[in-house]
Amino acid sequence: MNPPLTIAIDGPAAAGKGTLAKRVAERYRLPYLDTGLIYRAVGRQIANAGADPDDADAAGMFARQLDVSHLDDPTLRGHEAGELASRVAVHGPVREALVAFQRGFAARPEGAVLDGRDIGTVICPEARVKIFVTASAEVRARRRTDELLAHGRDDVDYERILAEVRARDERDSGRDVAPLRPAEDAHLLDTSQLDIDGAFRAACEVVDRALAALDQH
């Protein structure tokens, strides 16, 4: 019996890993988890209940009750949800509960695709496929700028966004708990010179090679 096809896709902000992960999940007919939403979802559930997001015990209780259906809330990608996420993410009970949530999702019999910053190193170190998606800070800042402009924002400044991207990289890479770094056995996928179709083809080649290697054993 083949082990589940768990695909871990990690990388820094605006590298394109979310769009890539969704397409990979569709291609291989696997459930997909955008782990960037789970802290936002916990923060939103707390706010909706009128509870205090700075209360570690209360936040932990909501985190343990998180359901996949909570991730469908369209407000999770807004600024307020992001602020709530940053407040609840500092709590140990929340992190513990959400690590368990992610591992439970990844343990589905058919496998799963998860994207984030520590999937291949912390959440699913035994994943059959690990891909670390990256791009230069300048390219990622340009993508984020273009995305905001496309959504009608007229207060977008590329240099400010570039500074934010670099600061986020430094913060994510330097943190004590689950720093952003590729797993030793991850496939590095630099999308600086690739559009989404090119990145998708490259990712599928990695997955297909892993599947072919499994068939030979």
Joined together, the tokens standing for residue 131 give: 């891909």
Q: For residue 76, give the DSSP letter.
A: G
Fold classification of 5-208 is Rossmann fold (3.40.50)
Parse the chain into domains and list their residue ranges.
5-208
Angle, nearest 10°, between helix axes 79-88 and 38-48? Answer: 100
Is residue 177 scored above 80 in pLDDT?
no
Report the alpha-carbon distance of residue 217 to residue 211 in Å, rounded: 10
- Helix (DSSP H) and strand (DSSP E) numbers for the chain: 8, 5
Per residue in 120-147, pLDDT (tens digit) is: 999 999 999 999 999 999 999 999 899 8
What percent of the chain is predicted at pLDDT more than 70?
97
- Residue 50 in marked binding region: no
**186 or 169, greater pLDDT:** 186
Q: How confident is the model at residue 6 (pLDDT cuts 50, 70, 90)?
A: very high
Per residue in 72-109, pLDDT (tens digit) is: 999 998 889 888 988 898 899 999 999 999 999 999 99
- Residue 14 in marked binding region: yes
Is residue 169 scored above 90 in pLDDT?
no
Report the alpha-carbon distance of residue 8 to residue 117 in Å, rounded: 9
What is the per-residue pLDDT for 148? Answer: 86
- Residue 11 in marked binding region: yes
**C-alpha 175: how far from its chain's center?**
17
- Residue 15 in marked binding region: yes
Is residue 1 scored above 70 in pLDDT?
no
Report the alpha-carbon distance of residue 112 to residue 136 in Å, rounded: 28
Q: How confident is the model at residue 2 (pLDDT cuts 50, 70, 90)?
A: low
- Residue 12 in marked binding region: yes
Report the alpha-carbon distance of residue 36 to residue 18 in Å, rounded: 9
- Residue 93 in marked binding region: no
Contacts of 24 (CB under 8 A, 6+ apart): 7, 9, 30, 113, 200, 203, 204, 207
Report the alpha-carbon distance of residue 14 to residue 136 in Å, rounded: 10
Joined together, the tokens standing for residue 30 give: 């696997």
- Residue 18 in marked binding region: yes
- Residue 19 in marked binding region: yes
Q: For residue 3, give the DSSP letter.
A: P
What is the per-residue pLDDT for 178? Answer: 75
Cross-strand partners of 189: 133
- Residue 134 in marked binding region: no
**196 or 217, greater pLDDT:** 196
